[in-house]
Structure 1
Amino acid sequence: MFEVEPSPAARRGPKPKPDTRNNLVQAGLRMFHTGGYAATGIQGIVESVGVPKGSFYNHFASKEAFGVEVIDAYFARNQDKLRTMLCDADVAPLVRLEAYFDDRIEAFRAAGFVKGCLLGNISAEVADHSALVREHLVKHFGSWSGFFETCLAQAQEEGVIGDQLPAALLARFVLNSWEGALLRMRAEKSDAPLIEFKQVVFGRLLA
């Protein structure tokens, strides 16, 4: 399943270079997103960075531990966009929420409807097999839906949408629906599932 942690003897050697760790994580991020977790081997990762395989184990106890850091890096990279687009109090809450999805849809169009969301991809591949990975996925999905919740709670407070359902529940449903739409997008190589997502969410659910 996951690679066994090397013995202490395997960890002896030169002191790790600080930038090597980040370079490995960034390489893992690209390769996991493009080829998937299972299909990406440690050897390929270290070769892409130009370091020996032993350098990997100077920084990470296992592929599982490495995968967690890649997940964390992926969410951290996207968190600034979430904060910038969804926390601007000068913009109406549903306007900024819809603008966020419009931005993402345009990005997927430009990329040719490939890759999707790394959190969703890793969930499908690894969540059943690793409690550690699952823990980090749950945390990041929770943070992500929390940004949506902020917008939806404000919209409810302003009377723009009803409050029959808690904002937190609505936010989770929107995120779950978006993740499903991304899977269909990749299968169909089309933006139709994303457009349909918007039609239902903004045309009906939040109308």
Structure 2
Amino acid sequence: MPTVQGDTRRSILDTAQRIMARKGFSAVGINEVLTAAGVPKGSFYHFFGSKDAFGEAMIRAYFTDYLADMDRILAEPGQTSAERLTHYWQNWRETQSIDECQGKCLAVKLGAEVSDLSEAMRLALKEGTTAIVERLERTISAGVEDGSLTIDASARDTAQALYDMWLGASVMVKIHRDIGPLDTTMTVTRQLLHL
């Protein structure tokens, strides 16, 4: 059972994810997050030593939740590996709306920004994105084994290329204010997996 302190810490992190997914890391002050979370200012330094430590904790919490959702999608019973991957990409498309992603696109929003600001945040992003690629690689390998997809490169290279492509398309959606890049990426994904 979560503690009051654990609930408060999580509330701060969840609130920050929602705000920073819209505004970025540097544009958001701690007071804005604490006010939105309904938490007194003194509480922040009880949980986090600095804004960078807070940013690292937020990124790690984001990936913990993201990977749990991904694991759930990629383990759905009664589906082939190709169907599970397709569901994952469809979920990606649905959560990467043009104007509001409700904290679901934190890696897209903060990736380039915080990688230049903080080594700890960069490493948290690297660990999180590497874990995503590893899950994609395992599912692609399983798809080759169950015959639901075929690939022309290694499972690792295919997984990395697909993740890079989807991440880039998500950035292009923000630039163009149009969901089209994700639709194009879905088409290319199907081609790469021979679906």
* 1:59 to 2:47 alignment: yes
For residue 126 of structure 1, the aligned residue among 114, 124, 128 is: 114
- The one-letter amino acid paired with 1:70 is M
**Closer, same or farther: CA 30–167 of 1 in aligned 2, 3 Å:** same
Q: Which residue of the other structure, out of 145, 152, 166, is the alignment partner of 1:178? A: 166
Q: 1:72 offset after TM fit, Å? A: 1.5
- Matching of residues 42-191 of structure 1 within 5 Å: 42-88=30-76, 90-108=78-96, 111-115=97-101, 117-162=105-150, 164-191=152-179
SS in 1 for 2:170: helix
Sort the Cα spacing of 1:163 and 1:19 in 2 relative to 1 into closer, same or farther, 3 A: closer
For residues 198 and 191 of structure 1, the distance between their equivalents in structure 2, rounded to whole angstroms, comes to 11
Determine whether 1:206 maps to 2:193.
yes
Q: 3-state DSSP class of the match of 1:179?
A: helix
Q: 1:29 maps to which residue?
A: 17
Structure 1 residue runs of 4 or more that deviate by more than 4 Å after TM superposition: 159-164
Find the counterpart in structure 2 of residue 38 from structure 1.
26
Over the matched positions of the two proteins, sequence identity in percent amounts to 28
Cα RMSD between the aligned structures? 2.0
Listed one character per residue, the Cα deviations across residues 54-96 of structure 1 (whole Å, up to 9, x for unaligned) are 2211110001110111111212222232112112363111111
- Report how many residues are paired: 189
Contact 2:141 2:155 in 1 (8 A): yes
Structure 1: runs of 5 or more not aligned: 1-15
| AA in 2 matched with 1:166 | S
